[in-house]
Amino acid sequence: MTFFVFLGGWTVGRNVMDTLSEGIITTDLTLTAGVAVLFFIGLGILIANIFGVPVPTSMTTVGAIAGLGLATGTLNYATIAEIVSWWIVTPIIGFWIGGVIGRYIYPEVNRRVQIEKSAGPLLALDRDGTIPKPTFGPNTTWAELGTTVVVLVIGCYMAFSAGASNVPNAAAPLVGGVGGLPDDTAIIIATLAIGFGGFTIARRTMESVGGELSDIPLLAALFVMVTASTITTLLSWIGIPISLVMATVMTIVGIGWGRATRPITFREAVTRDTGEPEIVPGAITAEEMEGKPAAPIGEEEPEEVLKAGDLFNPRAIMKYISMWIIGPSVSTVLAYGFFILIPGVA
């Protein structure tokens, strides 16, 4: 996965790096100032990871650089306005795409596609011949192998997207025009640092995202990964620093909302004349009744679906959203105060 993080940073991530290193402030970012900015970014992320909260790295980075710009009078307000506008629009896009998937697409795909997981290893080595060759595990089927490959490919795509949005956060402050590192060197260093962090302290954050935020089937998770990764990659392509977590969280909420509103038709939702059917947030966590089509929109769901557990933890969602506000705000204030007190660093 680290390779795909590197690939995302090496290709699409360069556009974001240009925005962070040259677009937010109107002067060259010195290497000394870049290191100071990295300190505030890293401190905030370290504290958040210790408590298992996924802080929006891209937003924290923008906040720290904006604090430098405010302190030195070099802030490019037009660029900041464009970035913040996308921060507001992105959760809405993720929510509505997720809503369409949950309401119209997911139930039918879930009925037709069965993701299998058998006991024992997926693959084994056949040592009967002169040269060992891979073969199926004792219980592996072609369907299970195919779904495993799909999961792996989507995971690599999400790693690519994460690299496109996160590698520039660590690389951009090192690429200042005065005494900065070459772009390629900064990208390699940032990728190695991200890979090391992923294998160490980030485990607590993964547990938070995987357990506290939601409890959804693998198929729904794949929809979330593809949607969030695509949104993040496209915005990174146009140079917007965006958080992959932001798109992921709101896509999860959107799919849950869309799945839960299937008992209500569009006309009923607009007129608010819903009658008996109720919106049930936990509908997506239950499996469809095998061999039977999903209930048409406007009809009540089977009892097994309506009694499923909640799709997402509202308290966790609010914690994540609060971090989208607190993270960049704190980094802006800290960086501003630092560069005001020690102006010679900038």
For residues 180 and 97, which has the higher predicted lDDT (pLDDT)?
Answer: 97
Cα–Cα nearest to 329, from 63, 14, 144, 70: 63
pLDDT single digits (tens) 10-32: 999 999 999 988 889 887 777 78
* Phi and psi at residue 167, to the nearest 5°: -60, -45
Environment class of 204 (CB within 10 Å of its CB; exposed 0-12, middle 13-18, buried 19+): middle
Query: What's the Cα-to-Cα distance from 219 to each of 5, 150, 248, rounded to whole Å?
Result: 23, 11, 15
Confidence of residue 277 (pLDDT cuts 50, 70, 90): very low
Counting beta carbons within 10 angstroms of the beta carbon of residue 69, is it exposed (0 to 12), middle (13 to 18) or buried (19 or more)? buried
Instruction: Write the CB contacts of 172 (distance below 8 Å, at least 6 apart in sequence).
Output: 16, 17, 20, 21, 29, 34, 61, 65, 186
Show the CA angle centred on residue 258, arms to residues 252 and 263, nearest 5°: 145
**Mean pLDDT for all residues in the chain:** 79
Q: Please tell me the distance from the alpha carbon of residue 92 to that of residue 165, in angstroms, as a whole number.
A: 19
Q: Cβ-count burial of 290 within 10 angstroms (0-12 exposed, 13-18 middle, 19+ buried)?
A: exposed
Instruction: Using pLDDT thresholds of 50, 70 and 90, give the confidence band for residue 1.
Output: confident
* E strand or H helix at 135: strand 133-136
The dihedrals phi and psi of 200, each to the nearest 5 degrees, come to -120, -95
Average pLDDT score over residue span 286-297:
55
Pairwise pLDDT comparison (40 vs 155), residue with the higher score: 155
SS3 239: coil
Quote the pLDDT of residue 205.
62
Does residue 99 surpass a pLDDT of 80? yes
Mean pLDDT of 98-114: 85
Tokens (6 digits) for 137: 């595990």
Using CA atoms, how far apart are residues 57 and 86, in angstroms rounded to an integer?
15
- With beta carbons less than 8 A apart as the criterion, state whether 247 and 231 touch: yes
**pLDDT value at position 289?**
47
Tell me: the pLDDT tens digits for 166-189?
Answer: 999 888 888 866 567 888 999 999
Contact call for residues 88 and 104 (beta carbons, < 8 A) = no
